[in-house]
Amino acid sequence: MITLRELSTNSFRAANTKTRFRITKLREKLISKLAKSDVICLQDVNSLDRIGRFTVAQSLYNQCDDSTKQYLLHDEHAHVRSAAAISQQTLGK
């Protein structure tokens, strides 16, 4: 099964509106599921696209385990890293 990260990387910029809508809906579904979790693990965020990882770093950081927090703090995208660093400072950790 193709992950959101793969779908977004391979299709988002060149995709038609239908594909972009599909990516957005899939991301919303995955983030909603993570929001209901007590603990978010690395495997939960590894398959998310940049916007999904940003959302976790910004809004769900306090639910992440230590390895996931470190992953987000060292993400390949500056937006994700920044959101994680701000969340970390806000939580005082």
Per the structure block, which two tokens stand in for 86?
């701000």
* Structure confidence by residue, pLDDT tens digits, 15-41: 667 777 888 899 999 999 999 999 999
pLDDT of 84 > 70? The answer is: yes
How many whole angstroms separate alpha carbon 60 and alpha carbon 52? 11
pLDDT of 12 > 70? The answer is: no
Q: Which residues contact 53 (CB under 8 A, 6 or more apart)?
A: 45, 72, 75, 77, 80
* Residues of the chain by 3-state class (helix, strand, coil), percent to 5: 70, 0, 25
Domain positions in the chain are 4-91
* Structure confidence by residue, pLDDT tens digits, 63-75: 999 999 999 999 9
Q: What is the pLDDT of residue 11?
A: 64
Nearest CA to 27 out of 1, 42, 47 is that of 47
Give the residue-averaged pLDDT of 41-52.
94
